[in-house]
């Protein structure tokens, strides 16, 4: 995952310099998204997104939740949103 810097500004925490993490946070600022949707929006593989989400969850910037998929009945998807 490389090195990163966690900067706290008031109630906000910013992770730098990883461009992928910044893109993920910008995408989630628009609203909750599934890992698949984040992959498409950010232009990174699903496994890369999940690696970054693991870190962002650990430091408390995002949270995961299960959501029913719109396609398959009863299928659940892992979604993420920014923590308040």
Average pLDDT along the chain: 81
- Quick one: which of 46, 58, 45 has its CA closest to 15? 58
- The pLDDT of 11-33, averaged and rounded, is 81
Enter the tokens of residue 34: 């599934």
pTM above 0.75, yes or no: no
The pLDDT tens digits for 30-54 are 999 999 999 999 999 999 999 999 9
CB 25 within 8 A of CB 82: yes
> Regarding predicted confidence, which is higher, 25 or 14?
25
Domains located in the chain, CATH noted = 5-82 (1.10.10.10)
What pLDDT is recorded for position 33? 95
- Separation CA 24–CA 43 (nearest Å): 10
- Separation CA 32–CA 62 (nearest Å): 10
């Amino acid at each position: 995952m490389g090195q990163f810097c966690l900067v706290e500004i008031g109630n906000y925490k910013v992770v730098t310099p990883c461009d992928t993490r910044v893109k993920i946070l910008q995408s989630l600022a628009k609203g909750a998204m599934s890992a698949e949707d984040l992959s498409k929006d950010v232009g990174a593989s699903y496994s890369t997104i999940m690696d970054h989400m693991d870190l962002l969850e650990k430091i408390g910037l995002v949270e995961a939740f299960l959501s029913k998929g719109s396609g398959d009945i009863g299928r659940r998807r892992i979604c993420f949103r920014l923590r308040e």
